[in-house]
Structures are given as C-alpha cells and as structure tokens.
Amino acid sequence: MTQPPLPGVLADVAPILDHWGYPAVAGLVFLEDFGVPVPGETVLIVAAVYGGAGRLNLVLVAVVAFLAAVVGDNVGYAIGRFGGHRVVERYGRYVLLTPARVAKAEAFFTRHGGKIVTVARFIEGLRQANGIIAGLAEMPWRRFLFFNALGAALWVGVWVTFGALAGAHLNTLYPEIRRYELYVLMALAVLAVLLVARHLYRRRRDTAERRRGGDG
C-alpha cells in the first residue's frame, strides 16, 4: 500500500532521509548535539515514523541515534573542557551562548549537573549546549558520560516509540492531521512569535547587564 506523504515540517525533512537514510540520522543528531543548528531531533522523529511504516529498520534507527547523540555530546563536552571560556566567548553567540547565560548555566550545573544532563535532551537549546556547559563547569567526564548516555537512551526511546506508533497508523492519522493542520500551524505561529519575543527580551536584558557591568 502506498504511504501518504508526511505532514508539515516532517515532509520538509523527509527528502533528506529518503536520500541518505541512516547516515542522515547519525550525522544530523551528532551535529545538533554539540551546537550546530541542524534538525537532528526532527530527522530522528521522521526516521522513527519511517520505521513504524516499514520504510526503515526501527532498531537500527534507535541504535544509530543513540550512538550519535552520545558521541555528539561528548564532542561538546571536549569543546567546553579543553577549549574553555575563550572559545565559547568567541563562538558561543552562534549557538545563543552569551557570557551571562553561560555563567548562570555553570552555576546551575554545579548544583544539579547529573539531573540536568539527563533531561537536557528534551529541552530545545539546552539539548545543543549541555555538553559544552558540562565541560566548562568541569563536571567529571565519567559522571557526564553516565548521565549523558541515560538521557540519550530516554530521548531516543521516547521519540522512537511515539514515531513508530505514528508510522504504524499513518493512514489513519494523516487525514486527522490534515483536518486540524491549519489550527496547528496557527498555534505554532503564535509559539514562534512568543519565542522570538523572549529571545529579544533576553538579548536586551543581557545587553543592559553588560552595560551596567562596564559602567561599574
């Protein structure tokens, strides 16, 4: 039976997966996990949907994504640990890591490091930066590796499970998704506006803090 096209942003990522398959999952998840702005999580979800629909091997998707996530975060950890604040201060703005945010994140990691590394994968922004910040905070590598692997297993497990269920029932779900797609897009548009407003507010606040620090 011919499978229907994927809806929304999933359809935008699908050609990448159609062409590259498992290397696309490995490469994009790996790059996203040390700060490169690529759709790693999205391609994982699409790959899981493909697995549920029988287009990819679901177990292989999970294994590839888990390994790529762990290795990617360890690259981020090495950047933070050995590159230090000098590298992050120079290039951090490209992944929204301003000095003020790094200082707050380091203090938070000092108190709650293991828990943060575990749940970071489910939080946009922190997923891409948690390895770098853990390295900057000089979290012991073995401790980081354990909680990083635990978080990667939970993250991959959740998305592979939901994606597989969606893929297995795609013919049923797709008409419903199409019916409510306009409402979903409107909600996403509102969410995007709120995120942009929050980003501008934080940038203005960080600028004000730097000016006060300079005046002092």
Reported as a single tens digit per residue, the pLDDT across 135-156 is 888 888 999 999 999 999 999 9
* Total residues belonging to the chain: 216
Q: Alpha helix (H) ranges present in the chain?
A: 8-20, 22-32, 40-52, 58-78, 84-91, 99-119, 126-136, 141-168, 170-215
pLDDT grade, residue 39 (50/70/90)? confident
Report the share of the chain in percent with pLDDT over 90. Answer: 20
Residues 6+ positions from 170 with CB-CB distance below 8 Å: 3, 4, 49, 52, 53
* Amino acid present at 55: R
Q: Mean of the per-residue pLDDT values for the chain?
A: 78
Higher pLDDT residue, 60 or 128?
60
Of residues 9, 3, 122, 12, the one with CA closest to residue 51: 3
The C-alpha atoms of residue 145 and residue 84 are separated, in whole angstroms, by: 19
Cα(40)–Cα(127) distance, rounded to whole angstroms?
Answer: 10
Residue 157 confidence (pLDDT) above 90: yes
Q: Integer distance in angstroms from the first to the last C-alpha of the chain?
A: 69
Which pLDDT score, from 0 to 100, does residue 1 have? 46
Indicate yes or no: pTM above 0.85.
Answer: no
Q: Taking the mean position of all CA atoms in its chain, how far away is CA 131?
A: 12
Residues 69, 5: Cα–Cα separation, whole Å: 27
pLDDT of residue 68: 96
Question: 3-state DSSP call for residue 155?
Answer: helix
**What pLDDT is attached to residue 198?**
76
SS3 35: coil
CB 68 within 8 A of CB 25: yes
Q: What percent of the chain is modeled with pLDDT above 70?
A: 71
Indicate if the pLDDT at residue 197 is higher than 90.
no
